[in-house]
Amino acid sequence: MRLLVALGGNAIKQAHEKGSTQEQFMNCKKTAVLLAQVVAKMGPEDRLIITHGNGPQVGNLAVQQDLAKAVIPPQDMDVLGAMTQGQIGYMLQQTLDNQLRKLGLNKQVVAVVNRVLVSKDDPEFQGENASKPVGNFLTEAEVKEEKAKHPEYIFKKVKPTGDRCWRRVVPSPDPIANVEAEAIRKMVDAGIIVIASGGGGIPVILNDNGNYRGVDAVIDKDLAGEKLAEVVNADTFLILTDVEKVKLNFGKPNEQEISQMTVEEAKRYLGEGHFLAGSMGPKVKACIRFLEWGGKRAIISSLDKVTEALEGKTGTHIVRG
């Protein structure tokens, strides 16, 4: 088995937390314990590849940059992506390495600073099309305050219910290719547990001179994770989030959990608007792409159910039909 696990933001920072180093390391440790259990059940030829989100971290870092701009020049969004990719990669690398050694497993874990190619003509860069949530969840009143200070910011409602259901959104261009694909593939083939494409990868374009250049965006980590799955020839794509199963009519009285759906059903539900663009939508879309590419299994479930989901006992399983 070649398993690619895409970790959601709750694997690193819970919504109610401030995001201190201690909090994030504690969350990474809990995640590492679960991932180490998965590795313990793997055979010598099996492979684990990890990717992760960075929405809360990159949003908070942007706030820090803004508050300190009178003293230190703020960095561009692609640089913030690289900074948080290194931060989270380090935390996951260290905690997973510690857990593997506790289990007597001699496995190297390597986090890669990884770029992902996007198009400068992507619609996400146009007008109000930006769709990637970053930073903390906000109330409508807090949104008005932030908008007054930063009229150039775009805010969107990313949850159907609750007080804190708004977040800032930035362009989220579609990933085209993983720039470090060959190096990542070689490490995975060698048996290394690779953490790559973190935060969706650092978004870059090819300019008119044929050189890579970073852009102000945050690529969706699940869509970029699907591209990474192709690179490493994964057969199983597991997206871990904060819900055990995907739901139709989420947040409504007729809410319904889905244990299994075909690619065609997933496409229909997506078209009917059951899955929000800033949350479940990209996850379902990534699973569809993975199966259409040739992957065998695509699963969406919660972090604490990772083992049960892989065993087919829970989660939403998307199949070719």
Catalytic residues: 9-10, 132, 221, 283
> Cα(129)–Cα(120) distance, rounded to whole angstroms?
14
Question: What is the phi-psi region of residue 127: left when phi exceeds 0, alpha when psi lies from -120 to 50, beta otherwise?
Answer: left
Q: Are strands 212-214 and 202-206 parallel, antiparallel or unpaired?
A: antiparallel
- Give the separation between CA 237 and CA 300, rounded to whole angstroms: 9
Token pair recorded at residue 117: 């190619």
Determine contact, residues 118/203, Cβ cutoff 8 Å.
yes
Name, in order, each residue with C-beta under 8 angstroms of 38's C-beta and a sequence gap of 6 or more: 3, 5, 48, 306, 307, 310
Tokens found for residue 226: 């699907």
- Spatial CA neighbour of 292 closest among 262, 248, 260: 262
Contacts of 19 (CB under 8 A, 6+ apart): 13, 56, 57, 60
**Contact partners, residue 126, CB within 8 Å, separation at least 6:** none
**For the sheet containing 236-241, what is the strand order?**
109-111, 193-195, 47-52, 2-7, 236-241, 297-302, 316-319, 260-262
